[in-house]
Amino acid sequence: MASDTAAGASKTAPAAPTSRRSVTGTRRTVAALFLLPALLLLGALVVYPIGYSVIRSFYDQSGDGFAGVDNYRALFTDDGIRTALKNNVIWVVFAPTVATALGLVFAVLTERVRWGTAFKLVVFMPMAISMLAAGIIFRLVYDQDPDKGVANAVWVGVHDTFAQSSAFPKAHPGRESPLEPAGGGAFITKGTVSAGDTVTLPLVGVAPDLMPDDAEPAAAPKPEGDRITGTAWQDFTRGKGVGTLNEVDASELGYARMRIEAVKDGEVVETAEAGGDGTFSLSPKADGAHLRLPASNFAAPYNGLDWLGPSLVTPAVIGSYIWMWAGFAMVLIAAGLAGMPRELLEAARVDGANEWQVFRRVTVPLLAPVLAVVTVTLMINVLKVFDLVFIIAPGSSQDDANVLALELYRKGFSEDQPGIASAIAVLLLLLVIPVMWFNVRRLRREVRR
Amino acid sequence: MRRTSRIIRIRRSPDHRVTTPRTRAAARAAAALAAGVLAVSLTACGGGDDDGDDNDKGGGTGDTGTTVTLPKLDGESLEVAAVWTGAEQANFKKVLAEFEKRTGAKVTFVPAQDPIINFLGSKVAGGAPPDVAMLPQPGAIKQAVEKGWVTPLGAEATKELAENYSQGWQDIGKVDGKQYGVYYKAANKSLIWYNTKVFEDAGAAEPKTWDELLTAAQTVYDSGVTPFSVGGADGWTLTDWFENVYLSQAGPEKYDRLARHEIKWTDPSVKEALTTLAGIWGKKDYVAGGASGALQTEFPASVTQTFTGGGQPKAGMVYEGDFVQVNIAETEAEVGTDAKVFPFPAVGDAPPVVSGGDAAVILKDSEAAQALATFLASPDAAGIQAKLGGYLSPNRNVPNSAYPNDVQRKMAKALIDAGDDFRFDMSDQAPQAFGGTPGKGEWKALQDFLKNPEDVAGTQAKLEADAAAAYGN
């Protein structure tokens, strides 16, 4: 077997110099001399820091007292570290698989289009951007304000095609208003109206610049026989406050197209819509009813998703990671695809397999080694993810987006807890080792093949 | 957490929304490295030429308008570490240049990163601490003293300090009765900035009391503008809000005791302050973007969104210290005409004066380091930087006329007039893990409170639990 011969070779290799030592006498020293620079560098830059971290993780905050396993106990009791652990699991499960899956799809599809190379170039491009720059880009993409964040701009755009927002989102009754909140955002008159009445429905809170274009200066209600007439308007004059309280002043604007409902015993008996000057009129049927301004008048504009809020921040950051690394997966998989024997695909097609079956039963199994390498490489990469989370998550949700590498940094450099930080580093090392081991074994087998 | 310099640093970036303190920290680290390398090469090959030049100039300016006598320090070299960047750093370097001129010493500015105490820790561990460092928090000075990193000020510097500083400003630079720090720079954190146009449109007036503030806010709201902008993504803006309300409402004595964690955060006075705060934070449509929007708004954006958009900005008022003007300068608004300021209104008997600042401490004792501390304690040094703007000095012998504009003069006057009645930022006095870490302790608790202002008791319980863990009592 391959492994036997390899092991045999490695066993005999050191034996040879031993046997020859007596002849030349210098072989071993020469070998040591050649290895020395590499060993020194490795020792100073890799082995020593690892060893020191391990030792440091058993000491307390100041580094003077031996702390035993206290720092490791903190790994499982500290809330911040537990969130970080949980998020790391989410990262390791989703980020590499989704990135690899997307990479596979891109690789297979670009093989079939004429401009495949150009497409690959575009998908691979994010890899040329540093994590830091990508983080800054995505901090903007996920911005809450739809005018800045493209994610919310798209989301709000889609939402608003189906549900319109109203013209008066912030309108509300001012001081000593005849209106009171009716729950759910609606407002209702405190008293009832009777036939022949004129009513005023003053509201405040809409800036003149934001009034609908067809709003005209408000007109005081005029009695119209038996009918109930009224005015709904913005009882606020620029620079003068409310002017005459609860009365129509010259420069105040009517609430054009405000809907008014007459409600009797909980049932709507009549509805009306205000004109440009805010006046409306109801038939005597509304006698004895309360007038209600339904909540639909005041629906706040949809503000999109809270991408960087506590619940969505981790998926959002993973999204940005995938944007960066799907291209990397694609390029590696495409290389594997290029080396795949075409006859097998042809044979499958000749045997009557459709494209999906060819992909599922031939391409994917043949690519399995490459897919595994890509996934595992990404897993190692994901375990140490730091910059994206550090930059994209705003301070208020950094705790919810926390990952081990970030927590390590925070514990070590901003909370001055080097002991715990070292313990996290050791934990990260332990987590990476099995994946590394798998990768190394895999590589070795590949080489031997 | 320190904020004066952090804030001022932000203005360098064209788009502040994305420049979080974290990215800056990274950039600063790189800059520090580069500067360090540069400094080494400069000191290595910068020859006697420079020194000769400095000598000549030193002779020239040393005689004119000086209030402090400094020794001749030809051939000496000093390193000064501070977290300042951008214009703030450039202005401070002018002060250092003046020192070089007068003494002939060579001073190198070492850009540090937040928290500077940890930066110094690694420098001390590496055996090469800077000679002088600017520490922002009294807690950091205490920590540095306990670790034996800093040496007390000499007689010269102490004398200069006593001449120019009120007792209160001297005392916060003391540890166990010994003078360690010179508060070179101060921040007045009891200010509310407002958009003049919004106030004019609404017919609102500058409030003097909390009730008047609420009335003004309601008037602004009625006019169709959201009253307040809160930079909730940065936890320290929230702790500053709380500190002003608490200092004014509960009084300085309780403030000091809470700062030392001698009373618990579950105290009724904390409940009262949080409830008062909820009167603004918890009111529908009073905070720009709502609670979740505010929690994603970093401090610089909270300022710029208040002063852009003409008469229809995202908000009418924004609370924070004097350094807000630096961010206003990024917008088209003019400080003094489009953007005005009023002192934080009195919630209790007296209006609060919460301050912050940066103190120079000596890490490597030498004649030159002592001379620099003396210089920084003198009105000469403060006067230079005061003229350049964006800076307040707690030095009472700096003439008010040294400040470049009315708003600056107003803020400086308020600070000096407060005498010893000011209180230092509470979260800056707390252990870092409680008062100065993003996503932890007080920052996080108040962010959660902004999100859910009804949960006063839960917030108190969380604050107390975190404080107990951080203070270790």
Cβ contact (<8 Å) for B440 and A306? Answer: no
Taking only the tens of pLDDT, chain A with its 449 residues reads 444 444 444 444 444 444 455 455 668 888 889 999 999 999 999 999 999 999 999 998 877 889 888 899 988 888 888 999 999 999 999 999 999 999 999 999 888 888 888 988 998 999 889 999 999 999 999 988 888 889 989 998 888 887 776 778 888 888 778 888 887 788 888 888 888 888 888 888 887 777 888 888 888 888 888 888 888 888 887 776 666 777 788 788 888 888 888 888 888 888 888 888 888 888 888 888 888 888 888 877 787 888 898 889 999 999 999 999 999 999 999 999 988 888 888 899 899 989 899 999 999 999 998 999 899 999 999 998 999 999 999 888 888 899 999 999 988 877 778 899 999 999 999 998 998 888 888 878 877 76
| B293 chain-A contacts, CB cut-off 8 A | 144-145, 303
Domain with CATH 1.10.3720.10 in chain A: 70-154+307-448
Distance CA B271, CA B246 (A): 10
- A window 237-256, beta carbon within 8 A of B: 238-242
Chain B nearest-CA distance from A38, in A, is: 25
What are A241's strand-pairing partners? A237
Cβ contact (<8 Å) for B447 and A136? Answer: no
Q: Is A415 on the interface with B (CB under 8 A)?
A: yes
Residue whose C-alpha is closest to residue B267's, from B6, B113, B76, B460: B460
Name the residue facing B296 among A204, A308, A410 (closest C-beta): A308
Name the residue facing B438 among A170, A210, A398 (closest C-beta): A398
pLDDT the model gives residue B418: 83
Cβ contact (<8 Å) for B203 and A241? Answer: yes
- Nearest residue on chain A to B236, judged by CA atoms? A395
Chain A nearest-CA distance from B205, in A, is: 11
At B303-361, the pLDDT tens digits run: 999 999 877 899 999 999 888 888 888 889 988 889 999 999 999 988 899 998 899 99
Mutation test of the interface with chain A: which of B196, B220, B296, B452, choosing the one with the most A Cβ atoms within 10 A?
Answer: B296
Cβ contact (<8 Å) for A395 and B293? Answer: no
Residue whose C-alpha is closest to residue B28's, from B2, B43, B9: B9
Task: Write the secondary structure of chain A as one string of H (helix), E (strand) and C (coil).
Answer: CHHHHHHHHHHHHHHHHHHHHHHHCCHHHHHHHHHHHHHHHHHHHHHHHHHHHHHHCCECCCCCCECCCHHHHHHHHCHHHHHHHHHHHHHHHHHHHHHHHHHHHHHHHHCCCCCHHHHHHHHHHHHHCCHHHHHHHHHHHCCCCCCCCHHHHHHHHHHHHHCCCCCCCCCECCCCCCEEEEECCEEEECCCCCCCCEEEEEEECCCHHHCCCCCCECCCCCCECCEEEEEEEECCECCCECCCCCCCCCCCEECCCCEEEEEECCEEEEEEECCCCCEEEECHHHCCCEEEECHHHHCCCCCCCCCCCCCCHHHHHHHHHHHHHHHHHHHHHHHHHHCCCHHHHHHHHHCCCCHHHHHHHHHHHHHHHHHHHHHHHHHHHHHCCCHHHHHHCCHHHHHHHCCHHHHHHHHHHHCCCHHHHHHHHHHHHHHHHHHHHHHHHHHHHHHHC
Cβ contact (<8 Å) for A239 and B200? Answer: yes
Structure tokens at A445: 């087998």
Cβ contact (<8 Å) for B292 and A242? Answer: no
Cβ contact (<8 Å) for B222 and A204? Answer: yes
Rounded to two decimals, the ipTM of the complex is 0.73
Name the residue facing A395 among B18, B223, B234 (closest C-beta): B234
At B49-69, the pLDDT tens digits run: 333 333 333 333 333 457 888
Cβ contact (<8 Å) for B22 and A210? Answer: no
Cβ contacts from A onto B, under 8 A: 130
- Other CB atoms within a 10 A radius of the CB of residue B46 amount to 14
Chain B nearest-CA distance from A174, in A, is: 7
At B1-29, the pLDDT tens digits run: 444 433 333 333 333 333 334 344 444 44
Q: Is A80 on the interface with B (CB under 8 A)?
A: yes
- Nearest residue on chain A to B314, judged by CA atoms? A145
Cβ contact (<8 Å) for A414 and B436? Answer: yes
Name the residue facing A148 among B17, B114, B223 (closest C-beta): B17
In one letter, which amino acid is B120? L
Q: Write the CA distances from A72 to A58, A75, A76, A92, B361, integer angstroms.
A: 8, 5, 7, 22, 36
Cβ contact (<8 Å) for A241 and B17? Answer: no
Mutation test of the interface with chain A: which of B3, B201, B214, B234, choosing the one with the most A Cβ atoms within 10 A?
Answer: B201
CATH top-level class of A70-154+307-448: mainly alpha
| Strand pairing category for B354-362 and B132-135 | antiparallel
- Going along chain B from its start, the domains and CATH numbers come out as 4-187+363-417 (3.40.190.10), 191-352+430-471 (3.40.190.10)
Cβ contact (<8 Å) for B23 and A395? Answer: no
At B67-76, the pLDDT tens digits run: 888 888 888 9
Mutation test of the interface with chain B: which of A414, A417, A420, choosing the one with the most B Cβ atoms within 10 A?
Answer: A414
Task: Give me the torsion for CA of A155, A160, A161, A165, rounded to 10°.
Answer: 180
- Nearest residue on chain A to B449, judged by CA atoms? A396
